């Protein structure tokens, strides 16, 4: 187990190096830099040149890359050109919001998706099956930002059931301990703040859950259907085992293997959905920060973020493998 | 591993459902509180995050909107207008040469940190800026200081402008004298800028301890400008908290304020990037006001009972023509033909909010120096055709660049405005090749480099001086316009060297007449940027320079 973890972490190094080279080549191809984003219509060629010089953007690309690598080895992602603060600080500040949003979205997707997929498979052809299959098709096809706008328009603006933007109600003055608004409320006993944070999270989380939910429903359904036809399930049933035992120990445990893999990969892809969702709900997480960074040509933030995503993917893959070995003993033996 | 027990699933589902209902109830309760009669928090949404709590390090409106509530400059503009009046200085005089400015300061003014305001405090500020080093000298940080006062005590960059600031002297407790080397069109207007607002000398000492960026390759704003606690001004509100994660800055009434105290105790600025997001938040009752209202939403909001007061115009939208590399545009008849072809009335009527105006010259009529004697170019397609024929360009082809996904106060809907102009030009027989580009940096870089034959841009004034508009474009050769007409340059620069305000205004009028005679581009319109407030809000006086004072806001 330990060897697996260490090997995976070592694999990170060449992956990130290769990625950083590609990133630098790509950013170097883009026209313009942050200077005109900073100055807007007030930018003059002289000013732009001065700022680029101050930011070291007039240096050849390999010099910039060398500097970047040197910083990476010092675990320094540099400074955001837009906000003028260290990229790590900016991420640390906004990361909790995105984690809360992603965890809640994934929770919704798993808790709703797996039982729904299982039931759809068990009652194949029934109304629930038809509804969940066609519903999941809609979930996959409707663009995230469109769903976000619809949910916001209906439930926040017209019905007023949910807040239309932000993480917490203004003037709530919740104490900030960890940066995780939901958790902070529990830790400090300010349950109002926790409820308020959840209330703000509801619509964006449902939006973000739509795609993983659809995928999980379809995969669980297909996988359960396959397992139900297996001999060992029939054997277990004919042995007169309890229905629940058969469902959980034989059917679900085997059917969930591919679903667990999918959940891992979907978690990684949540970040791209978060960019759109957070922008629509003005939710101060990493997603809306990245959108601002793209608009402002904030290179250090973009490079740092993509490197970070790569790390997240590797770690998630590792967790998926570990989860596999818990569910499927054969993996452990190998 | 019995994690998939259906009982567990049921329990979690139930918990989620209860949670949803509970949060629903909780927030309904919260909303009731917010809508109560004695509301003590006013929430206003801007379009972007401020960059710094120290206005001296900023050059953007989102930052100034926030800092203006906490910091005051020596001069300011009258509420709701563009006339210069006393701010922290009750009165001021300039010598005839325009190089010595004497300020009689207001008495009994206190800073948020308890320090007293006096002439020494004024000089501490000006000397602090003048002695900036390192990254502070980058125009990304000290844009306005450099624009108004030139460079620094020791310029570290060869390209930096020469220092025009000479000295600041505290003649006595309540008299400060600021001297410059040369007369400047930017004075006294510049003394009203937020970027030159006065901070507590105690705070300035703290600022000076914190250098911006030690790394030299990125601009790292100093810590004091990124969290509340150090910065201290004299304004009606003091900044108490900046929660970046939640994109909100909280200000609190300053009880020792020298003037009319703020009517609402707490003032919160939040960031909602999209126009539609801000509008929906106002409609949903989540905020009490927002800026940069889309002209298309003004009527809808008014009909629904929201307050959408109209600001007076203080900006200019124009079509630029780049003569270099475009021989046809070098011919005056062709430029005149383009001017006659475009139906500016129609653009104002269909694209701008109520109060938009057709522009006859390169400044709005609210700016001192606007002339009623300029040559005009009324919409006339036939005349345009005749002029093109006379110039030997009956089948003129031009590239026309325009920006996408951006709104500016002078240009609410660039794409729609472009489409209208394109069809006008085609009616006159001109073939237009559209070149849409992303605003920053692509479009801005292209227009700067003179890479577009026709393009559209604009400007919002910093203060009421004609040079702030025409000096920006026509003081010297500029690739964006690509012409070298010394007559125009001289006319524009004539006013900037005159100390006497009345004579200066006359010189600007002549400059406007010279520019419109030569016609380097076509001024299109001036637009009143709309601002919206909730139904239960008594709005502040709105300002053409978007310098609203939120201390005037109250709830009905």
Question: Regarding predicted confidence, which is higher, B499 or B93?
Answer: B93
| Residues B48 and B115 occupy one common structural domain | no
- Does residue B434 have a pLDDT over 50? yes
Cβ-Cβ contacts under 8 Å, B27 against chain A: 162-163, 169, 195-196, 199
Cβ-Cβ contacts under 8 Å, A35 against chain B: 140, 441
The domains located in chain A, with CATH, are: 87-331 (1.10.3720.10)
Helix, strand, or coil (residue A44): coil
User: Which contiguous run of DSSP H or E holds residue B538?
Assistant: strand B537-538
pLDDT band at B10 (very low <50, low <70, confident <90, very high): very low
Question: What residues have CB less than 8 Å from A230, skipping those under 6 apart?
Answer: A254
- Does residue B502 have a pLDDT over 90? no
* Lowest mean pLDDT segment, chosen from A122-136, B3-17, B67-81: B3-17
Instruction: Specify if B412 maps to a domain.
Output: yes
Minimal C-alpha gap between B538 and chain A (Å): 20
- Does residue B6 have a pLDDT over 60? no
Instruction: Specify if B278 maps to a domain.
Output: yes
pLDDT tens-digit readout, B369-418: 999 999 999 999 999 999 999 999 999 999 999 998 788 889 988 999 99
CB atoms within 10 A of CB B301: 20
Whole-number percent of chain A with pLDDT over 90: 13
Residues B336-344 have a mean pLDDT of 97
- Does residue A225 have a pLDDT over 50? yes
| Residues B327 and B444 occupy one common structural domain | yes
Q: How far is residue A302's CA from residue A58's CA, in Å, rounded to a whole number?
A: 19
Q: What is the average pLDDT score of chain B?
A: 88
* Alpha helices per DSSP H over B352-500: 381-390, 414-427, 444-448, 467-474, 486-496
| Residues B307 and B336 occupy one common structural domain | no
Among B41, B241, B286, the strongest candidate for a mutation testing the A interface, having the largest count of A CBs within 10 A, is: B286
| Residues B375 and B479 occupy one common structural domain | yes
| Residues B381 and B275 occupy one common structural domain | no
| Residues B547 and B521 occupy one common structural domain | no
| Residues B126 and B203 occupy one common structural domain | yes
Among A60, A170, A288, the strongest candidate for a mutation testing the B interface, having the largest count of B CBs within 10 A, is: A170
Whole-number percent of chain B with pLDDT over 70: 92
Out of A32, A41, A199, name the one closest to residue B23 (CB). Answer: A199
pLDDT band at B136 (very low <50, low <70, confident <90, very high): confident
Q: What are phi and psi of B116, to 5 degrees?
A: -90, 145
Q: What is the CATH number of the domain that holds B504?
A: 3.10.105.10
- Does residue B542 have a pLDDT over 90? yes
Last residue of one domain, picked from the residues B220, B253, B273: B220
CB within 8 Å: A157 and B283:
yes
| Residues B202 and B327 occupy one common structural domain | no
Instruction: Specify if B242 maps to a domain.
Output: yes
The pLDDT, as a whole number, for residue B217 is: 53
pLDDT tens-digit readout, B224-280: 999 899 999 999 999 999 988 888 999 999 999 999 999 999 999 999 988 888 999
Residues B145-149 have a mean pLDDT of 92
Instruction: Specify if B70 maps to a domain.
Output: no
* Lowest mean pLDDT segment, chosen from A237-246, B94-103, B170-179: A237-246
Instruction: Specify if B6 maps to a domain.
Output: no
pLDDT band at B426 (very low <50, low <70, confident <90, very high): very high
| Residues B334 and B305 occupy one common structural domain | no
Out of A36, A46, A170, name the one closest to residue B248 (CB). Answer: A170
| Residues B211 and B284 occupy one common structural domain | no
The pLDDT, as a whole number, for residue A332 is: 64
Last residue of one domain, picked from the residues B170, B193, B220: B220
Question: Regarding predicted confidence, which is higher, A213 or A251?
Answer: A213
- Does residue B222 have a pLDDT over 90? no
The pLDDT, as a whole number, for residue B124 is: 96
Q: What are phi and psi of A317, to 5 degrees?
A: -60, -40
Q: What is the CATH number of the domain that holds B289?
A: 3.40.190.10
The pLDDT, as a whole number, for residue A282 is: 84
The pLDDT, as a whole number, for residue A203 is: 93
| Residues B360 and B435 occupy one common structural domain | yes
pLDDT tens-digit readout, B27-54: 433 343 344 346 899 999 998 889 899 9
pLDDT band at B365 (very low <50, low <70, confident <90, very high): very high
- Does residue B185 have a pLDDT over 90? no
Q: What is the CATH number of the domain that holds B181?
A: 3.90.76.10
| Residues B365 and B291 occupy one common structural domain | no
What six digits make up the tokens of B553? 């806001």
Instruction: Specify if B7 maps to a domain.
Output: no
Last residue of one domain, picked from the residues B164, B190, B220: B220
The pLDDT, as a whole number, for residue B17 is: 45
Sheet arrangement for strand B175-180: B89-94, B100-105, B175-180, B165-172
Question: Are A201 and A99 contacting, i.e. CB atoms less than 8 angstroms apart?
Answer: no
The pLDDT, as a whole number, for residue B26 is: 41
pLDDT tens-digit readout, A278-304: 988 888 888 888 888 887 778 788 888
User: Which contiguous run of DSSP H or E holds residue B357?
Assistant: strand B357-358
**What domain range includes position B398?**
315-526
Instruction: Specify if B10 maps to a domain.
Output: no
Among B19, B27, B186, the strongest candidate for a mutation testing the A interface, having the largest count of A CBs within 10 A, is: B27
Cβ-Cβ contacts under 8 Å, B406 against chain A: none
pLDDT band at B534 (very low <50, low <70, confident <90, very high): very high
pLDDT tens-digit readout, B199-221: 999 999 999 887 655 444 567 78
Per DSSP, A79 falls in state: B
- Does residue A185 have a pLDDT over 90? no
Residue in B286, B209, B302 with CA at minimum distance from that of residue B248: B286
The pLDDT, as a whole number, for residue B537 is: 96
Instruction: Specify if B62 maps to a domain.
Output: no
Q: What is the average pLDDT score of chain A?
A: 82
Number of domains forming the structure of chain B:
3
pLDDT tens-digit readout, A3-24: 777 877 787 778 778 888 888 7
Residue of A nearest to B274 (CA): A280
Minimal C-alpha gap between B215 and chain A (Å): 9
């Amino acid at each position: 187990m330990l060897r697996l973890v260490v090997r995976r972490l070592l694999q990170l190094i060449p992956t990130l190096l290769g990625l950083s080279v590609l990133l630098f080549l790509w950013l170097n191809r883009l026209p313009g830099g942050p200077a005109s984003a900073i100055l807007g219509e007030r930018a003059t060629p002289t000013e732009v040149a001065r700022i680029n010089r101050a930011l070291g953007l007039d240096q050849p690309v390999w010099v910039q890359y060398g500097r970047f690598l040197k910083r990476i080895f010092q675990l320094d992602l540099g400074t955001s050109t837009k906000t003028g603060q260290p990229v790590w600080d900016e991420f640390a500040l906004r990361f909790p919001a995105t984690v809360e949003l992603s965890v809640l979205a994934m929770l919704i997707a798993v808790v709703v998706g797996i039982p729904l997929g299982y039931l759809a498979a068990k009652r194949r052809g029934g109304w629930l099956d038809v509804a969940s299959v066609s519903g999941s098709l809609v979930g996959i096809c409707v663009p995230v930002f469109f769903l976000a706008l619809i949910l916001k328009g209906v439930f926040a603006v017209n019905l007023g059931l949910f807040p239309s933007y932000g993480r917490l109600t203004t003037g709530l003055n919740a104490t900030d301990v960890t940066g995780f608004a939901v958790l902070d409320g529990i830790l400090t006993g300010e349950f109002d703040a926790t409820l308020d944070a959840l209330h703000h999270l509801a619509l964006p989380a449902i939006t973000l859950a739509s795609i993983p939910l659809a995928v999980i429903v379809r995969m669980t359904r297909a996988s359960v259907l396959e397992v139900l036809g297996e001999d060992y399930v029939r054997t277990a049933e004919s042995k007169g085992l309890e229905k629940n035992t058969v469902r959980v120990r034989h059917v679900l445990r085997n059917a969930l293997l591919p679903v667990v893999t999918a959940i891992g990969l979907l978690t990684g892809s949540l970040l791209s959905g978060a960019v759109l969702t957070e922008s629509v709900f003005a939710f101060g997480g990493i997603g809306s920060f990245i959108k601002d960074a793209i608009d402002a040509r904030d290179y250090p933030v973009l490079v740092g973020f993509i490197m970070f995503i790569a790390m997240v993917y590797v770690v998630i893959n590792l967790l998926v493998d570990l989860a596999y070995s818990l569910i499927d003993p054969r993996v452990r033996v190998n | 591993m019995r994690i998939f027990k259906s009982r567990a699933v049921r329990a979690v589902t139930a918990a989620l459902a209860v949670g949803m209902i509970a949060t629903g109830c909780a927030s309904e309760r919260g909303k009731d509180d917010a809508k109560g009669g004695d509301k003590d928090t006013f929430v206003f949404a801007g379009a972007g995050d401020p960059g710094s709590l120290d206005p001296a390090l900023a050059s953007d409106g989102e930052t100034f909107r926030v800092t203006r509530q906490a910091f005051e400059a020596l001069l300011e503009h009258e509420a709701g207008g563009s006339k210069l009046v006393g701010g922290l200085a009750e009165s001021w005089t300039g010598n005839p040469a325009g190089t010595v400015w004497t300020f009689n300061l207001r008495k009994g003014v206190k800073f948020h940190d308890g320090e007293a305001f006096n002439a020494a405090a004024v000089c501490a500020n000006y000397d602090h800026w003048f002695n900036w080093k390192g990254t502070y000298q980058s125009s990304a940080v000290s844009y306005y200081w450099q624009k108004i006062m030139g460079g620094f005590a020791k310029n570290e960059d060869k390209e930096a402008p020469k220092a025009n600031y000479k000295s600041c002297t505290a003649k006595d407790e309540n008299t400060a004298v600021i001297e410059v080397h040369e007369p400047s069109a930017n004075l006294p207007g510049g003394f009203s800028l937020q970027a030159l607002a006065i901070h507590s000398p105690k705070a300035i000492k703290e600022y000076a301890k914190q250098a911006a960026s030690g790394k030299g390759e990125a601009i790292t704003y100093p810590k004091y400008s990124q969290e509340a606690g150090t910065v201290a001004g004299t304004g009606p509100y003091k900044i108490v908290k900046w929660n970046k994660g939640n994109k909100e800055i909280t200000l609190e009434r300053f009880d020792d304020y020298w003037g009319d105290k703020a009517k609402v105790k707490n003032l919160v600025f939040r960031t909602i990037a999209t126009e539609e997001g801000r509008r929906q938040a106002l409609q949903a009752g989540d905020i009490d006001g927002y800026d940069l209202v889309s002209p298309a939403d003004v009527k809808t909001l008014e009909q629904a009972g929201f307050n959408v007061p109209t600001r007076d115009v203080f900006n200019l939208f124009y079509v630029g023509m780049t003569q270099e590399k475009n021989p046809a545009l070098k011919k005056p008849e062709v430029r005149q033909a383009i001017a006659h072809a475009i139906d500016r009335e129609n653009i104002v009527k269909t694209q701008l909010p109520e109060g938009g105006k057709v522009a006859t010259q390169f400044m709005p009529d609210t700016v001192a120096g606007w002339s009623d004697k300029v040559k005009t170019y009324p919409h006339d397609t036939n005349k345009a055709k005749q002029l093109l024929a006379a110039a030997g360009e009956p089948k003129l082809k031009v590239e026309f660049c325009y920006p996408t996904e951006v709104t500016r106060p002078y240009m609410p809907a660039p794409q729609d405005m472009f489409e209208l102009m394109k069809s006008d030009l085609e009616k006159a027989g001109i073939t237009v090749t559209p070149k849409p580009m992303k605003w920053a940096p692509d479009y801005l870089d292209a227009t700067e480099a003179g890479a577009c034959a026709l393009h559209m841009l604009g400007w919002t004034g910093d203060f009421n001086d004609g040079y702030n508009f025409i000096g920006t474009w026509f003081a010297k050769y500029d690739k964006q316009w690509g012409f070298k007409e010394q007559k125009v340059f001289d006319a524009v620069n004539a006013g900037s060297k005159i100390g006497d305000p009345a004579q200066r205004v006359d010189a600007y009028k002549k400059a406007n007449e010279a520019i419109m005679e030569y016609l380097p581009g076509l001024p299109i319109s001036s637009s009143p940027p709309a601002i919206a407030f909730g139904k239960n809000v008594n709005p502040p006086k709105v300002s053409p320079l978007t310098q609203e004072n939120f201390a005037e806001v109250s709830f009905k």
